[in-house]
Amino acid sequence: VTSQPPFKRIALIGLGLIGSSLARGIQQLGLAEVLVATDASAEVRARAVEIKLADVVADDNASAVADADLVIACVPVGVSGVVAESIGPHLKPGAIVSDVGSVKASVLSAMAAHLPDNVHFIPAHPVAGTENSGPDSGFAELFINRWCILTPPDGADAAAVEQLTAFWAALGANVEIMNAGHHDLVLAVTSHLPHLIAYTIVGTADELEDVTRSEVLKFSAGGFRDFTRIAASDPTMWRDVFLANRDAVLEMLGAFQEDLSKLTRAMRRGDGEALFEHFTRTRAIRRGIVSIGQDEAAADFGRKHAALTKKAE
Amino acid sequence: VTSQPPFKRIALIGLGLIGSSLARGIQQLGLAEVLVATDASAEVRARAVEIKLADVVADDNASAVADADLVIACVPVGVSGVVAESIGPHLKPGAIVSDVGSVKASVLSAMAAHLPDNVHFIPAHPVAGTENSGPDSGFAELFINRWCILTPPDGADAAAVEQLTAFWAALGANVEIMNAGHHDLVLAVTSHLPHLIAYTIVGTADELEDVTRSEVLKFSAGGFRDFTRIAASDPTMWRDVFLANRDAVLEMLGAFQEDLSKLTRAMRRGDGEALFEHFTRTRAIRRGIVSIGQDEAAADFGRKHAALTKKAE
């Protein structure tokens, strides 16, 4: 049984990790009759043609969105306003316009200002990613069993929200509806603060006087290397996230600093009981994440190990 | 061609992750004619018999080390002194005594005080592990391509150091010699500080008023879940590490706090350039770790993804 694709024409603006993953998923599942894509970089557009990321690779945003029923801006949040400005006058009446940005309140206001009243603007954030970026880093399975948060503004069209929900569900995501401000607070703790901390500690380790960089790299399996994956994330995307969600990140940072002081004080005082109690509590939280399928149970993230063999004698 | 095992009798005290991994590796490679093991917990000893972790499971430390040529204490660093006291009078003259503790200066002095002059005491630290603990969590391949740091005291017997080096090399480890104080500084940054930070942030996320625990778990794929693996490490082991290596950890924490202030200030001021420069630098450090084989290049630690399939219609 074949059925009509849910959208006649989908336009993707930006072909980084998220955009190119969407492109692959849309093509693999046949979610659009025609998939159009574009990117600000001529090099990326050329690469998109080469690896067939879309049916049509457009030269600019205006032509990309013409006649599209669903337009998704997959760009760093700092340029979402500029992108909205470039597409506003060219959108098809009734089109759904969305994004994938990690911050929602600032994106919502930056984009809404440039969009006509006759389109449905529904911001979205798929909570998924890897440390890699660019058109070659995407893969169709990225969104499976991950959450995609929609933050429709007050009075958003229910049918449009439903269509976008079905789109993300088809890609394997679980969809949650939230208001933009609450989204930014939740993500400040589950994503932005962890990135800030990881970026900090990796930088710290690299600048010490008493410990060489070579020592840091060699002995990183003691824990440090887990932080480097996050601290290898796309610098442009993350610069924009911290500038756009500053207040929520600072609020979470305040809570973190209080807790760090508490643990430091316990360490100074030799209060082993307080440390033990804290470490036992945090262990339970990982079990919770594994039990709801948001991480693997395999030890050490399932990193592979070579086989142990006797040396030749 | 068969050859003599390098040690006639090896005794392991403690059968947690490291001890039970050693037991499996020693047996698999035939590194001892007889492997004796014991543990402070009767339950663990019974389990060791059940899963055949050693040729002999001894009831106490004194009988475990009798006639052993190599004795390795695989216990939380806080009890290393007590363990040394319990085995001191029962050691065979000429035996090598070692450990696997994550802190070396304090262990060295705690154990040395109780060991007779006629044994070779050579502390060691295999920089390897997972978030799991207990006799069932070990595996023979744990040490492959990981570093094992030996911290022989001044005047240590060169032949004994060489024998212990060959032992760890047989298990797949790269061996490095270092003085105990420098070891503690290096590990403070590559292991202890990352654990302290991870334990803190996971605790912070669990105690927020505005964001529920269920939200933290659901949206953890944004970065938070990477921290939870480390914060799920053995509470007893880590309590002891922070108490035993307090000064070095506090020194590294000071450097971390300065850097965190710098990044926070850049965020407050909207200094995108400073953020971008920092994030670009830290990205390079992960490449260094992957290029020397201390982590996998696979995106997202190589976490598995289900296949994307069209829903039934």
Per-residue pLDDT tens over the stretch B156-190: 999 999 999 999 999 999 999 999 999 999 999 99
Q: Could you say which of B186, B219, B296 has the minimum Cβ distance to residue A147?
A: B219
Q: Which residues of B touch A176 (CB under 8 A)?
A: 218
For range B74-83, the mean pLDDT? 98
Closest CA to B51 of B131, B130, B135: B135
Average of pLDDT values for B54-72? Answer: 98
Q: Do residues B146 and B171 make contact, with C-beta atoms less than 8 angstroms apart?
A: no
Would you say the pTM of this structure is higher than 0.90?
yes
Rounded-to-integer distance, Cα A217 and Cα A195, Å: 20
* A195 has a chain B CB within 8 A of its CB: yes
Q: Is it the case that residue A312 has pLDDT exceeding 60?
A: no
pLDDT tens, B10-49? 999 999 999 999 999 999 999 999 999 999 999 999 999 9
CB atoms A276 and B233 under 8 Å: no
Query: What per-residue confidence (pLDDT) applies to A5?
Result: 82
User: Which is it for strands A124-126 and A147-150: parallel, antiparallel or unpaired?
Assistant: antiparallel
Query: How far is B106 from chain A, CA to nearest CA, in Å?
Result: 14
Closest CA–CA distance from residue B176 to any residue of chain A (Å): 10
**Does A275 lie at the interface with B, CB-CB under 8 angstroms?**
yes
Q: Is residue A111 within 8 angstroms of chain B, CB to CB?
A: no
CB contact A56 to B (< 8 Å): no
- The answer to whether B302 contacts A306, with C-beta atoms less than 8 Å apart, is no
Closest-CA residue of chain A to B2: A313
- Rounded to the nearest angstrom, the minimum Cα separation between A287 and chain B is 8
B170, B223, B302: residue with CB nearest A303? B302
pLDDT at B2 over 70: no
Answer for the pair B174, B147: CB distance below 8 angstroms, yes or no: yes
pLDDT exceeds 50 at position A1: no
In A, which residues are within 8 Å of B149 by CB distance? 219
Chain A positions touching B25 (Cβ under 8 A) are: 308
Percent pLDDT > 70 in chain A is 98
Q: What is the DSSP letter of A207?
A: T
Contact flag A276-B235 (C-beta cutoff 8 Å): yes
Q: Which of B215, B268, B287 to probe the A interface (max A CBs under 10 A)? A: B215
Q: Could you tell me if A305 lies within 8 Å of chain B, comparing CB atoms?
A: yes
Average pLDDT, stretch B130-144? Answer: 96
Token digits of residue B13 = 């005290």
Q: Is the Cβ of A150 closer than 8 Å to some Cβ of chain B? A: no
**pLDDT value, residue A231:** 96
Instruction: Report the share of chain A in percent with pLDDT over 90.
Output: 94
Closest CA to A72 of A32, A133, A122, A108: A122
How remote is the C-alpha of A190 from its chain's centroid? 11
Query: CA-based angle A258:B276:A211, to the nearest 5?
Result: 65
E strand residue ranges, A167-247: 174-177
A274/B contact by beta carbon, under 8 A: no
Within A165-308, strands assigned E span 174-177
- Kindly state the average pLDDT of the residues A118-122: 98
Average pLDDT, chain B: 95
Residues of chain B with Cβ-Cβ distance to A28 below 8 Å are 308
> SS3 for A128?
coil
CB B287 within 8 A of CB B224: no
Q: How far is CA A33 from CA A8, A28, A94, A138, B91, in A?
A: 5, 12, 18, 21, 78
Task: Please indicate whether residue B267 or residue A312 has the higher confidence score (pLDDT).
Answer: B267
Q: How far is Cα B7 from Cα B296, in angstroms, rounded to an integer?
A: 34
A8 min Cα distance to partner chain B (Å): 18
CA distance B244 to B106: 6
Does A150 have pLDDT greater than 80?
yes
Residues in chain B with CB shorter than 8 Å from the CB of A194 are 201, 222-224, 226-227
For residue B302, pLDDT over 50 is answered with yes
Quick one: pLDDT band at residue B3, thresholds 50, 70, 90?
low
d(CA A111, CA A83): 8
Using a CB–CB cutoff of 8 Å, tell me whether B112 touches chain A.
no
* B1 has pLDDT over 70: no
Mean pLDDT throughout B82-87? 98
pLDDT digits (tens, 9 = 90+) for A185-223: 999 999 999 999 999 999 999 999 999 999 999 999 999
> CA B35, CA A70: separation in Å to the nearest integer?
67
Tell me the residues of chain B between 207 and 246 that have a Cβ less than 8 Å away from chain A: 207-208, 210-211, 213, 215-233, 235-236, 238-240, 242-243, 246
Q: CA-CA distance, A129 to B134, in Å (whole number)?
A: 33
Quick check: B285 and A236 CB within 8 A?
A: no
pLDDT band at B288 (very low <50, low <70, confident <90, very high): very high
Q: Note the pLDDT of residue B268.
A: 97
pLDDT tens digits, A219-267: 999 999 999 999 999 999 999 999 999 999 999 999 999 999 999 999 9
Residue A137 forms contact with B (CB below 8 Å): yes
Closest CA–CA distance from residue A301 to any residue of chain B (Å):
7
B208-234: average pLDDT: 94
The pLDDT assigned to B311 comes to 67
Chain A residue numbers with beta carbons less than 8 Å from the beta carbon of B292 are: 217-218
For chain A, list the strands marked E by DSSP: 7-13, 32-38, 56-57, 70-73, 96-99, 120-121, 124-126, 147-150, 174-177
Task: Please say whether the beta carbons of B202 and A282 come within 8 A.
Answer: yes
Give per-residue pLDDT as tens, A269-300.
999 999 999 999 999 999 999 999 999 899 99
Mean pLDDT of B206-211: 92
- Tell whether the model's pLDDT for residue B312 goes beyond 90: no
Using the Cβ of B267 and the Cβ atoms of chain A, whether some distance falls under 8 Å is answered with yes
